[in-house]
Structure formats: C-alpha cells, structure tokens
Structure 1
C-alpha cells in the first residue's frame, strides 16, 4: 500500500494533515469548556475525566443547533439529540457521583466534588439549550409561520378548541392524586411528564391536604396541531400538552383553588445490574429487571423555572435529591419530545436535502452476491452506500436451497427488523439458524428478548453469549453446499444490524469468502455457543482474549520503529478512547517519535499536545450530519503497514468485558479505499472537525460554514452525478 502521506484524499486541494490541523488550532475561536483533569492516576501522565469528556462531546453536538447555516428543523433536531444524550448520561453515569455526594465522599474517582463539578457543567449546558430554544429557535420558527401557542396567546376560538380537546382526549386519562397518609406520593416513572399542584381550601372530607400530583400518560402526544381554520393563512399552529393541562388544572380540582403548580420530570438510574452468576435464566431475570427500570434511584429533577421554593423543596425531599440535582428550565421539561415538531412540520425547505443511499458500488445488481464474493471481497460504506446490499446477501442465502446454515450476532437490530424477518423465514425453510442475541444491549433489552423468544418458538438455536460479557461483535456467517464441499460466506461490520441506524451512522460492512476469515468466524460462533476455549484464530482478533494485547503490540512496534529513525505512524478512528493500557502505549510510542493522529468522536481521556508528554499525539473529533461510528486502526512501522476494522472502541469495557472482533484488511484496493475515505478525509476536514487542545478544551474547525467536510465529500463521491450546468455555475 502506498505510504499514508501519499494518499490522494477524498477532499481535494488540501494542505498536509499537519498544516491543516495547525491552522485549525490557530483559527479556532471560542473553545469549549475544558474537561476536568483526573489527577489521581498513580505514575500516569495527564488523563482527562471521562464524564466531563462525555459532556464535552454534547457541547460539540450542541454547536450544530447553534449554527445558522444548518436548516431550522435540523437545528431543533440537534437540540433534542443533546437532550436525549443528557438523559442517557444521567441514567447511566450520574448515580455514582450522586451517591458519593450524599455520603460526603472526599477521595477517589466519585466524590462530592466530582458531583458538584458535573452538575455545574450540566446546568450550564441545559441553560444554553433553553436560551437557544427561546431566544433563537422560537423566533425563527415564528418567522416561518410555525408557532407553539401558549395559553396567554390563544384567541377565544383557539381556547375553545383546546378545551374541547382536553375534555375529549386528555381529561379521561388523568388521575389527580391528593396527598395524605392514605394517598402517599405516587411512584413516578423515569422521564415521565408530571404536574405538582398546591391547593387552597378543603377537600370533600374537610381536610386541608394541600399538595396533589397529576401524572401524564406517555400515550398522549406532547404536541398537537391546531386546525387550519384557527390559523392565519400560511401559519402552522401547535399547542403543547403541558400547556393544555396547565390551562385546565382548575378543572381537575373542582371546589379547590390552585395557588401554585409546576410541571416536573425525574430522571432515574436505569443501567440494569444483574448477578449473572446467580441467575438460572438470564432472559427471565432481565425481563423482570425491566419492570423495575422505570423506578430506579432518582438522579435528576427538572421543574419549571417558576416553580416555588415550597414545591421544589417538597419534590427534592420526596426523591432524596440535593439542591444541585434540581434543574429549573424555561420551557417544557421534556425538551427531547420536541422532535415531534420536526415530523409534524416536515417542510423540506427547513430540513437537510434528502439523502438516498446508493446501491453498493462493488456489488453488481442482478448477479449472485455469493458468486461475486467467490471472486473478491466487498466493502460497503454506510450510509453513503445502502444497507440493502447486506439485506440482499441474507435474502439470497435464505432463498438458496444449497445454503444449510446461517449464524448471526444480534445486538441492536430494532423492534421492527426485516433482517430478523429473514432469519425467521430461513428457519421456516428448514435451514439451521443460530442467533447469538445480546440481551443486555442497553435500552434494547426488551426488543432483543422479544426477538429471542420469537426465534426460539419456531426452532432457531438462540444463545445469549457468555456470562459476564456483552457480545458486541457484529458478524453473519452463511454455510453453503457447493458440489461435494461446504463453503462459507461471511459479513463483518463496525456497526449494528439495524436498518434505521444504517441510514444515520457511518459504518463499514465487509463481505468475504476468505477461507481463513470465515473459518475464524465459525470458530467464534462455536465458542459462544459451547463456551469452550476459542480456537487459534488465523486472522480475527477476539476480545477479551487477544484484541487489547495485539493492539498494544502494534503500537509498541510503531514506537520502536520511530526510535530507530524509521517511518512510524498511527492513525486510529473510533468513538471513544478511555482504556488506560492503550493510552499509556500511545504516549510511549509518541515519546519515541511516532506521529499519532486519533479521530475520536466522543469521550477521549488522553490529553493531546501536552508539552513533554504527548507532543506527537493529535486528537480531533468530527461531528456531522451522520453519527460517526466506524472503527479503523492504521499502523505503519518502517516498511510494515497494518490496517484493521473493528466493532470495538478503545475502552476497557470493549477490551475486557465484551466479546469484540477486529479483522485485518489485506486487499490493496480495499485498503486504499478505507485509508482515503475514513482516515485521510477526516484529517483534512476543516468544517466539522474539532481539535483537542493541551488543556482539554476543543477548538472548533476554522471554516464551519464554508470549509471542506469529510461527510460532505463522501456524499458527493457516492451521490448522483452533478448536472453539467450546475458545475458551470459553480465555476463562475
């Protein structure tokens, strides 16, 4: 393969990666606030705090909501994505900090100070979210004739319609609960919308129980479109569910006076914890655990900005939360549900131009895919190329009478999956189907349990991986009789078997009939089913057995080459970098002279460009229209070059607590494509790439509106040909 620096990038007319990154640092304007440095790592160089780094990633996503060159509905979508990400952050990462704060813990990773610092950063981001929504997005929507009409803004006719809607659709589903010893504070589900009300006067029994709770069912839509007859010409008017209920609280408490009220929403710790060694049936235990997930430890409380001290203190006491866990917001407490507005408006002028993934270039339509794989390996780059290529491969296998066995891992396939329907059809056609279903895929447990039960009910062999580990590897293996022999055809991927996310995430799919690779895949499937020791693998790297060690060996080889004065280069693209062993190896290699570029979308604990420590390590994060999800690892030590694709990020959980795969790409044609499209293009990105500074802050790209972005370039490469007339216009 040609040397890395000689590659012709997808993005043309660029300076060298080094020059472009230096320009990015110099031209960057306002840096994102710095992650806190973790100082308690004995004998280690500077590492950044993981949780602050996660919040920093959401700062970068939030920037897309701020950018005025982004279409209006897409800006709202990014704002809601940040809210959704924050929900998951609190559900998964906040409990340990909160528990430490309650106990007054002062030492270790989780302390009272760590809780206060995280809460401060989260409060700042939430405040900026609502400021952007109220001060920028709402006025901009109004200029386009799109308004969410508050009670005070409604005309008499609009109020009459809202009242009728409330009485017909909402009131029958609400159960106001007055609190007293016989009616204790009700169980409030995770992230549900609720109202707390303070009442004056006496109830039907002459008692002064002054606090009541109204739980709002999830089945009710959070936004409702008003009829066109109630809007001016060209206007689209909506009303929020919280506003509808707020305007009719008096109707819920006849004979009482509502003196104070607030909407509220509690976020709960939702990471399921099971002692897998102590359960007889993992599926049954998980299903039981799912019933309790909505009522875990409270970690965050959101209320209206105008919520009184009396009501907020009352709620904090009920949920056993300290003051920093209270978030007063100027708008709906469930901001993420505003994604419904994107669907209700659905104006193409306010959205990104529709992207239609192309049929994979390396697959000839109408020709047997397995026949094509007999001649060469095939790479598919999603979402620029369509997931339909993979579905076509599986569909061909299902319909081929010579195919005897289909084996597949299932991690996040979704509740409605054509792929799972194909596996079901394969069983019905008499093929042996083995599905390794990961029941513990966070927040996809229920869908995976349902698929496991459905497949088992028709005779498929379903296994749940290995006790204590998550099966995160993505592989599909087809065994076909060809004459007197059996031949295997395999698919490996950096991403999930999920049709929806395949349109939104960047991933690489790899189809092959290589004997060594497919034999390794079969060995891994047998290992997962039998739990015997894995066989000696010829090409695949398997976590938790070999992957981390082999990556460290590759890093060390590059470092040794650098110390000998040879070419030494590492370029690695991943979603997160938090594994200490890998970070230490990178630091040593960099100090020996290796040039290291890391493209890390999310959390990165390795501080870059720290004088005397990580001078030769540069880190950038690309946030674009699609969610970056590919994992690509390139190593050059002298004349030796290695390129791997993987399902794993460089995190300790991926290396030691999951079943993961990495595989080498050896075909020159595919190696060039991967280096060009997934590494070089991203190192030359001066539009969507953020650069990590020595102090842990991120500097935004120098040209966020008119620069050259890797994703945009790939859309041009894979999109329809540009009309000649348009090219001439651009050239004038």
Structure 2
C-alpha cells in the first residue's frame, strides 16, 4: 500500500510536464472540436450547423484574446527575468498547431458542405463571380452610395504612418503600382471597413435568377470595387485581414478610487491591446503578410491564412435572418410552474422550496420573484447580485421599479465580468439613478455568486425569501443555457444568504455559515472534505460514490483529492462540459474515474455535486466550477438541496440522463482526447436534453412539480 501511495505521489508531481494532469489550453481546444463536430453532424439541421460553426469561431476569438494572450504575457515576463520554463513555450507551440488544424477543418466544412447545402435550400452566399449582371449593377450602386463615402484608404509614408487597427475589425492591405498624385512610386495602403455597415448584405430578390434569398459579404463588395478607390494607380494585390488583440482588462482595484470610472477608461483601451493573432485571406501574398506580421509584432506561428471570410462568426446574421423551420431545431416552449407567479408566490414558498430547471422550465418565475417583491407593499428590501444580466433585462428593470417605489434595494454589480463590463456599467448607473444602493463586490475578487434576497414584513415579523442559482440572472441566456435555481424560505439558507450580502457590502469577514459553502473561504475546503469523506467510507468497505457536473475542472487540489478517492475505491463520474485537467482511467491513479462531456442544442452550464455519504445523498448546487479562480479568486456559493423530493429531481433531471446519454456524449480517454459515445448493440438512442425537453416542456401538461416527500431509503443513483 505504501509503495502504491508513493507511486501515486510521484505521478502527482508531474503536473509541469503533463504526467497526471492534462493541459488546460489543449483541453479547451478539445471542447471546440466537440462543438465543431455538431457543425459536421449531418443529422443536425443545416442552419444550426452554421450556428455551431459560428460559435467555434467566436470561441476561438476568445481563446486568443484571453488564454493565448495570458500565455504570451507570462512568456514575456519569464523571458525578461531569465526564468523561461520549457512547458510554457511548448504549450504555446502546441496550442497554435492545434488551432491551425481546427481552423482548417472549419473552413473546409464551410466551403465543401455548408455553403453548397445552403444553396440547395435557397440560401445563397454569392462570390463576385457568381453574381449576375443585375446583381453586379446593384452592388456597384450600393458601394457608391453606402460604402465608398465611409472608406478612408491610407497610403503609407512618413506622414501617414500605419494606422491603429481595432481588435477583430475588418481591414484591407493593398499593394499599389504607378505614381501617386505627387509623383511618387509604388506603395502600400491600409483601409478599415466601416463598423457601421452590415457585414452580410441581402441582395434584392427580384434581381436573382435563383430561388430563395441571396447574400453577399461587405468584404466582397469592397474587393469587387477596390480599383475604384485608387484612381490612376494599379492595384497589384490585396487581402482582407483581421488582428486579434489581448482583451483582458486590468485595473489596480486597490489603487483606484472609483472602479466604475477606471473601468470605463480601460474599456476603450481593450480595442488596442497587444496583438496575438493575424488572419489574412488565403491568396494574400507572402510579402504582404510578412509586412503585417512585422507591424503587429506577431510570431509567424500565429498567422492564419483562411479560405473564406476572416470572421466566420459574422455569418450568424444569415442564421438569424432565415426562419425556414426545416433548417432549424424544432421550436421549444419551456414548462411553466403556475404556482410561482402572482400573489401566491410567497405563500407557495412558505409551504415548500421550489426547484427550477432552465431552459426546460421557464425563467419567468425568477423574474416574477423580483417583480412581485417590487410590487408587494409588504416587501421592504431586496438584495441581489448581478454578474451577466445582458443589455436588456426585465429582471433588472424590476429592481429599478422597486427602488423607485421606495424599497431598500441593494445590488452587487460585478463590473469585471469579462465582455459584459459595458452593459454592467450601464445597469449600475440606471440603478443608482433610481435610488438603489450599488456596490461592486470585493476588491480583487469577482462576485460570481448568483443570489437574490427578499425581506417581507409579515404578521410573525420580517421573513426572508431567497433565490440561489447556478447561472446568471440573464433571461436571454436562460433560454439556451442549462441551469438550476432554488426558490426558498428556509430560515437557515436565507439567513446565510443575508450574511453573505452583509459580507459583500461591509467588507467584514462573514460569520460562520450553517448551510452555504462560500468562496474564497470555505468552498474549496468543503469540496475536498466531502471527497475525502467518500474515500474514508470506501476504505471501510462501504460504497463510495461521487457524481459532479460542471463547466470546467482544473484545480489541482480537488483533482488530487479525486485521485486519492479513486484509489480508495470510490466510483466517480464527472460530467465536464469544457476544460478538464484530470486524466481519467489511469491504472493506479484514476481507474475508478470516468469523465464525459455533453455538447448539444443547449449549453450545459449547471453545477451539481453529489456525494452518496452512506445513503444521506448529499446534493449541492453551486455557481462555481472546480477551478482555482472560482475557489480562491471569486465570491462563489454552493448550497445544499435538503428536500428529499427535490434531491430526487436533481438526480433524475440533472445527473442520471447525462450518464445515460449516447447521442451528445463524449468520453475522455487517458490521452486527453475525447471519443463520441454511441449506442451499442440493441441500445436505443438516448439524448439527455431531448428527454428533458419532453419531460419538462410546455407540451407536458403537468408542470407544477410539487413532489411529495417519500424517501424510502433507496439509492437515487442508478448502478454504475
């Protein structure tokens, strides 16, 4: 036993060279391979395949803006200090190579399958050579009327230096021959495409000789009339290009006096962070791409020549503009719990907790919770966290209405929610104008917890009601992110929620909480304790069982505890949508651990932790993934589900279907690659998301899930 333990410890020390842990960046790229597989799947409706292709493009943008930028920044720091680790260089090189392969697959799929099949269904994206005479004439008029007046080509010389290029903007580099107006010879011009113009343009139907809708890209319009922009000179060559920049915002929160004002200043600078990737057209001449690489100081390994538009993500406009039912997923209407609306809402919660499972069940009861509180004269105060509310939010509008009605409204707005900073700043200003108390969380920590608290005056005194969730208070994303939320009047839980709000506003250390695990204080310790408790149970010869579902698993301390539990005999199933640094199925290390990922119609976002705990069946929901940043650098909460009936619902809806899925499931192999799970033998196809749509959607007439407490002592988890 001691020899085995020493061997495991030796393997655990191999983190730096990847022995027991998988590389986070490569794991993220593996996730995007799984998303791309949805675009490649012919059983997925065609416009949805295009949507998945656009999602991959957007994900890769963020990968370069954040992950690659972070690695490059660290590389520069380490090189300056003379302590450059080999692993960092290798990680950058491997990530670039994997991206190159992934991007090649994207464009091959786009050109050889997606575009031809769209055309077969009457959706035509026309190149210059494919437009008929009438369409070419219309495009020329459109160019002269709408585009040319907004273009400003800049011929480069000492008086006209290379212009500042905004992050991810569409640009053109043009090589010119012949003398200019001042008698000078050949040169290079740079031209930015106007951001106010649509990137996808629909051509008039009456001009087409094809059935359906015809489109062209703004880049194609400009390129078709490039010569018109340089009268008297020869356009020798040109290419579209796009540069991706570091987009991580940083402000010294301990030094600034007003975080909102400091962040508003930084938002503009995000457009001009250091360059991390250059994309050019496939036909871009070598000397022009080299010129751009030198200008942006980008290594050649991060140059991507693409066979199509430099921003595939823009083609989402085509998906949104077309409503051909046969080319999209069938419409889905979520179920709605009728008792969680109107004046009966608080009376219902006094009787029992309510569990909501989005998007299979409507997000409207969460909005109703705040809206009813805003309108109820007996409600005296509302407190809520806001991480990603979106630019339009009925829920935040309800908070504003509550403040206008004179209620005490306190909102913790996280201004540093990446890519949502501007929207959150706008909401903070509107809330303050309405009379709400707005604070920005804790210095140095992002407030990622999802909590709302209502204080209501009742005959027995003030009573608290709370909502706790795994996802954001965003009605838009709640339609396609899977999440769970709990509405409760449980005195212990609501008291803990109140203590967390006091901690966030007063900056005092929180009191001992009775039910909630709070990061960065206790959450990691409690997770590790629960894992080790299962290991101890298994060592004593009783069944140990852990099932956990989350977005990412990268924290070393949690992974080490899971390895130890596996070696104690605990059976562990992990449902990890994205990055996973744990290496499963390795003899002597993780042979009792299985990892799977579900990628389907909806984005899996729920965080659920299950520990069998000698048939106590501990079920915990959380806002946090098992990542170092969530456990130590954010304010997060994990909260227990106490009702036996609701525990069974969480297991029945949140875990069991995902362990049975053989349609959208991918299983992680020890080598870090994922293999798609397929039905075996006489097994029928089983899609967790489809099953839940049928179980909980509006088509199911019984959506008031008022489960009875009927614990019979059986294990709610099916045998592994």
Aligned to 1:272: 249
Q: Evaluate the alpha carbon distance shift between residue 210 and residue 716 of structure 1 in structure 2; reply closer, same or farther with a 3 A threshold.
A: same
Matched residue of 1:374: which SS? helix
Aligned to 1:244: 221
CA distance in 1, matches of 2:340, 2:448: 30
- Give the stretch that moved more between structures: 269-278 or 538-547: 269-278
Q: TM-score, normalised by structure 1?
A: 0.91
Matched residue of 1:310: which SS? helix
**Where do 1:34-433 residues align within 5 Å?**
40-41=14-15, 46-99=20-73, 103=79, 107-108=84-85, 111-208=88-185, 210-232=187-209, 234-360=211-337, 363=339, 368-433=344-409
1:145, distance to aligned residue in structure 2 (A): 2.0
1:184, distance to aligned residue in structure 2 (A): 0.5
1:146-175, Cα deviation, whole Å (9 max, x unpaired):
211111122211110000011111111111
**Corresponding residue to 2:452 among 465, 476, 488:** 476
Aligned to 1:12: none
Aligned to 1:626: 602
1:163-214, Cα deviation, whole Å (9 max, x unpaired):
0011111111111111111111100000000000000011111122510011
1:655-679, Cα deviation, whole Å (9 max, x unpaired):
0000000011110110000011111
CA distance in 1, matches of 2:695, 2:72: 48
CA distance in 2, matches of 1:38, 1:541: 27
**Corresponding residue to 1:718 among 678, 689, 696:** 696
**Corresponding residue to 2:582 among 575, 596, 606:** 606
Q: Evaluate the alpha carbon distance shift between residue 466 and residue 209 of structure 1 in structure 2; reply closer, same or farther with a 3 A threshold.
A: farther
CA distance in 2, matches of 1:38, 1:331: 44
1:144, distance to aligned residue in structure 2 (A): 1.1
CA distance in 2, matches of 1:390, 1:376: 16
CA distance in 1, matches of 2:118, 2:614: 57
1:583-607, Cα deviation, whole Å (9 max, x unpaired):
0000001100000000000000000
1:641, distance to aligned residue in structure 2 (A): 2.5
Aligned to 1:585: 561
Q: TM-score, normalised by structure 2?
A: 0.93
Instruction: Indicate whether 1:707 and 2:675 are aligned.
Output: no
Aligned to 1:669: 645
1:235, distance to aligned residue in structure 2 (A): 2.4
Q: Evaluate the alpha carbon distance shift between residue 211 and residue 364 of structure 1 in structure 2; reply closer, same or farther with a 3 A threshold.
A: closer
CA distance in 1, matches of 2:117, 2:133: 26
Q: Evaluate the alpha carbon distance shift between residue 181 and residue 42 of structure 1 in structure 2; reply closer, same or farther with a 3 A threshold.
A: closer
1:276-309, Cα deviation, whole Å (9 max, x unpaired):
1111111111111101001001000000000001
- Contact 1:590-1:615 at 8 Å conserved across structures: yes
1:676-724, Cα deviation, whole Å (9 max, x unpaired):
111111111111110011111111021499721100000110234489x
1:346, distance to aligned residue in structure 2 (A): 2.2
CA distance in 1, matches of 2:261, 2:663: 48
- Contact 1:178-1:209 at 8 Å conserved across structures: no
CA distance in 1, matches of 2:43, 2:13: 40
- Contact 1:61-1:78 at 8 Å conserved across structures: yes
Q: Evaluate the alpha carbon distance shift between residue 259 and residue 272 of structure 1 in structure 2; reply closer, same or farther with a 3 A threshold.
A: same
Matched residue of 1:111: which SS? helix
- Contact 1:188-1:295 at 8 Å conserved across structures: yes
Matched residue of 2:351: which SS? coil
1:505, distance to aligned residue in structure 2 (A): 0.2
CA distance in 2, matches of 1:484, 1:619: 49
- Contact 1:101-1:115 at 8 Å conserved across structures: no
1:43, distance to aligned residue in structure 2 (A): 11
Matched residue of 1:296: which SS? coil
- Contact 1:100-1:110 at 8 Å conserved across structures: no
1:274, distance to aligned residue in structure 2 (A): 1.6
Aligned to 1:693: 669
1:453, distance to aligned residue in structure 2 (A): 1.3
CA distance in 1, matches of 2:351, 2:33: 46
Matched residue of 1:301: which SS? strand
Report which structure shows greater RCO (CA 8 Å, sep ≥6): 1
- Contact 1:686-1:707 at 8 Å conserved across structures: yes
CA distance in 2, matches of 1:145, 1:272: 43
Instruction: Indicate whether 1:547 and 2:547 are aligned.
Output: no
Q: Evaluate the alpha carbon distance shift between residue 412 and residue 539 of structure 1 in structure 2; reply closer, same or farther with a 3 A threshold.
A: same
Unaligned runs of at least 5 residues, structure 2: 1-10, 702-720
CA distance in 2, matches of 1:467, 1:315: 39
Instruction: Indicate whether 1:499 and 2:482 are aligned.
Output: no
- Contact 2:499-2:510 at 8 Å conserved across structures: yes
1:477-523, Cα deviation, whole Å (9 max, x unpaired):
00010025000110000000001000010000110001111111111
Aligned to 1:726: none
CA distance in 2, matches of 1:228, 1:641: 61
Cα RMSD for the two superposed structures: 1.9
